[in-house]
Structure 1
């Protein structure tokens, strides 16, 4: 078996200032990519996150307080998201554990019927490194989402952005066309795999409510502040080359009543500007493929 490639071997270093600029259709300048995350936290396992640390500092199973915190997002918080994006006319990308289709079919069906893009996010929430058979898990996840939605997902985001060195090949083999795990650029890129090219889209750990609210403990309006400052800089730069701004939110965090208003205000702000598109991951991928020779498209700006 061939030695798996290191990340640096999959892509040559490329300074953004050395690339000819890409071009969005029309006079558009900034693509806003919204990613909503819906997950399954198995009560029999350690929880993916903790809002309430264990009294002695040692996690105990079952971890009912933190399981319940996540469960609030699926029972209540996600419906605030559905209402918000319906009113905005935005159909976001749904980063979704395939097990959501089984444990929360009411939620999964709502997203499907609203036309949200389903992006693979493993079968249930947990790091890829803990999977005993990663290949089987990836295929099981993709197959279940295809069965539920009638369409095989083209995108993938690892839980916690986790990958092993073998993951890119396994994803391409399962039909994945783009990933969000490589947060190393402002633009889509192409990386090599033994199974063919794989596109990276500019996902975010900076405009993401997990590190911002749960790890860094910022106030509820900090997401708005950081998003506006990010957008202003990207919009200024987009006079020279198009820019992409990802916003990643979770129902148990930004779906809380005191955080939904700052999230809504982000869209109110960016929609004041001309040349702003709200695309999901598949739309970004389709456009990028159309302008990238490595993917069979026309003259690219890479």
Structure 2
């Protein structure tokens, strides 16, 4: 069976009528991706090209680009989110709990949901033992945070044919890798259902800034337009919107204001339910019976 065949096609216009808690019309969740890039390896993403076209290791400038986010950018985002009382899903590499405990603890202390995001940043396809890496991430986060993650976002949204089964086996109930719909969808595994939570690759600071090289006005206007359309559609049936951010991207001084403006715009509408991944998953499963 092709991996895509595990998620049967559903037209959103045919989905059952869903009702959000307290009469809300749209669920919005913020995903703060907290990752560890090891300086001895090639960087997953770069802002500066290699000198003379020759990649060099250690890649000090591009590693430092990311490291700035962990040392400075994260704290701007933390202030923006906690000051507004917005629930956050912190997608965290398991080893961040050891390498950046100050960052991980700040998320735990804020009451954020901890979402598994691999053990170290890198594609699932490159892992020698995917099961071990998943359990290492889950166990390390659980030992640090005191609760086992119920949700998961694979690094780079990467999966192999066995990833979903291994995640469910490890206790994951909700996964954000499948950017296929504006409502959750259940996926069968040999260990029980795992539910896809609507994520985003477009209202995502990596895409807008690092890949498409847009300025902050595009991030803000895209987020507003995305929200406006989902909010309008939610008059007929509930919708879910994701906002995905990274400390080294929207945590920098010249971009944090656009993120704050988007949060204020969304939060200024009646009927918005700020939720976390597991809250959305639990709501959906409760609605589907």
TM-score, normalisation: structure 1: 0.94
3-state SS of paired residue (1:196): coil
| 1:208-219 alignment, distance < 5 Å | 208-219=204-215
Distance between the aligned counterparts of 1:6 and 1:57, measured in 2?
39
Deviates more, 1:94-103 or 1:10-19: 10-19
3-state SS of paired residue (1:291): helix
Check if 1:99 corresponds to 2:95: yes
Extract unaligned runs of 5+ from structure 1.
298-302
Which residue of 2 is the match for residue 137 of structure 1? 133
User: Could you give the per-residue CA deviations for residues 203-249 of structure 1, whole angstroms, max 9, x where no partner exists?
Assistant: 00010011110110001221110000011111111110011110000
Extract unaligned runs of 5+ from structure 2.
none
Check if 1:124 corresponds to 2:113: no
Which residue of 1 is the match for residue 223 of structure 2? 227
3-state SS of paired residue (2:21): coil
Of residues 265, 272, 277 in structure 1, which corresponds to 2:268? 272
Which residue of 1 is the match for residue 35 of structure 2? 39
CA-CA distance at 1:82 after TM superposition: 1.1
CA-CA distance at 1:81 after TM superposition: 1.0
TM-score, normalisation: structure 2: 0.98
Check if 1:68 corresponds to 2:49: no
Distance between the aligned counterparts of 1:218 and 1:264, measured in 2?
17
Check if 1:253 corresponds to 2:249: yes
Which residue of 2 is the match for residue 300 of structure 1? none
Contact 2:179 2:200 in 1 (8 A): yes
Distance between the aligned counterparts of 1:58 and 1:199, measured in 2?
43
Distance between the aligned counterparts of 2:54 and 2:166, measured in 1?
35
Contact 2:29 2:87 in 1 (8 A): no
Check if 1:81 corresponds to 2:77: yes
Contact 1:35 1:92 in 2 (8 A): yes
Distance between the aligned counterparts of 2:52 and 2:163, measured in 1?
36
